[in-house]
Amino acid sequence: MPKASAHFTPSDHTLSLSQARQIRDQRGAQALTDSVLSRAAADQRNAVLAHSNSVAPQAEGPLAGIPFAVKDNIDCLPFPTTGGSPALLDNQPKADAPAVAKLKAAGAHAPLKLNLHELAFGVTNNNAHFGAVPTPFDRTRVSGGSSGGSAAAVASGIVPFALGTDTGGSTRIPAAFCGIVGFRPSTGRYPDGGVLTLSTTRDTIGPMASSVTDIIEVDALICDEIDPVPTTQRPLRIGLFYHKQGLSVSLDVQFQKAVDRLQSEGLVEIVEVDETPFTDLEQNYGHIVVTHEAATIWTQFCAEVRNQSIEDFAASLGSPQVKAIFDLLPERGSSNEAKAAYEKAIKGIANLRQAYEQLFVTHSLDLIAMPTVPVPPPLIGDEDMIDTDLGPQPTFPTVVRNASLASLTGAPSLSIPAGTDTTGLPVGFMIETRRNEDRFLLAAGVVLERGLQML
């Protein structure tokens, strides 16, 4: 694999919350907003779909005057919610999504909507209508999906943080591909509603930022969290949890380097665990659940909101691949065989969650860790297969393989940058813990992020 086309270091480009506050305090909230809109207008990566030229609000609160951006499957006034699709260019919401409203109530404002894989049905963010979003590390490679616009906007310093959504890895995969931090909270932690949903079982909004510290602040404001983040003085006990086959060799080398660094600094204690019960998750559970639930959700949406059949709606989609998925949804939602498979998968997920919790008890684990994605970003336009140590493998199941676990167990998951591989492409270090222990996970993330910064 050739090296990335140009050296890119996110820390040289990103805009942290502290930097945004400094600009606001020294030059005023309008100057901060103007600089964000200027960078958005100069964006050449298709990350930004829409922007408003509204005056920065005279707001109070912990995020007073701070601009952020929102993935365009999340309702955020005054914008339509297009889902990155030509089929929904006129889909105007009546209110902000509750998570967006929380941030606006804290003084922030959202002058930008961001690109995504059409209707969030993919992991590359190669959007047929609005254009592919490349990773800032290499303009020939994808930013990841489905929240690729959110990741690219943060990595390029357009905004200090952005909201994405995560069904099977859609905040964490693009975070890894763009060298930033992506967080999937425990399912149900954030208020629901105001999102073009794929799966009631798996979907959640998730924030993306340049540091774990900034994620902690955004998370607290969405959740009305008042308790301080817990701290730990002892090494974190981590179960290594990743396949040693079916991955990029250069990525594997960098991930092991990250583990070695954390061990040498006394930050972690590594425990070998058996991951056998947690393999083939997308095939056994994830895909079945998403397609069945999406069939119900989108059939209802088309009838009640669009006043059309799902078949007619599918005909107006931009991506042939997404259209092919929608063409299959009616059968996946209504056939007796599909219903039986769905019920079996839901029971399997319940057992998976019990096994996941028991894993932490059996090995006295604080966390599990794995590469966020076992391969580097695919080339734009060459996304069906990707090279691994086992030869070419289908891209989608390979990319989501590690990220699926948290979305099925409902556990929190955090992707942290872990340097770059030998080709100059970013590597993500993903950690997870028990469900509803989000603040502990984020506290651990601060510790590990500090240890990984010099890679």
Which alpha helices (DSSP H) does 197-335 contain, by range? Answer: 212-223, 249-264, 281, 287-304, 310-315, 320-334
Beta strands in 45-108 (DSSP E): 48-51, 67-71
Smallest CA-to-CA distance from 375 within 391, 398, 392, 407 is with 398
3-state helix vs strand vs coil in the chain, percent to 5: 40, 20, 40
Ordered DSSP codes for 359-375: HHHHTT-SEEEEESSSS
The neighbour count for residue 253, using CB atoms within 10 Å, is 13
Q: Which residue in the list 170, 210, 211, 413 is annotated as catalytic? A: 170
Q: Is 170 a catalytic residue?
A: yes
Residue with tokens 């007073």: 64
Q: How far apart are alpha carbons 341 and 282 in whole angstroms?
A: 13
3-state secondary structure of 302: helix
Q: Which residue in the list 143, 146, 147, 250 is annotated as catalytic? A: 146
Q: How far apart are alpha carbons 136 and 144 in whole angstroms?
A: 11
Smallest CA-to-CA distance from 146 within 103, 96, 98, 205 is with 205
Please calculate the CA angle 267-269-270 and round it to the nearest 5 degrees: 125
Q: Is 344 a catalytic residue?
A: no
For residues 19-48, one letter each, b for 16 or more C-beta atoms within 10 angstroms of the residue's C-beta and e for the rest, the string is: ebbebbeeeebeebbbbbbebbeebebbbb
Smallest CA-to-CA distance from 400 within 17, 2, 32, 117 is with 117
Contacts of 26 (CB under 8 A, 6+ apart): none
Active site residues: 71, 146, 170
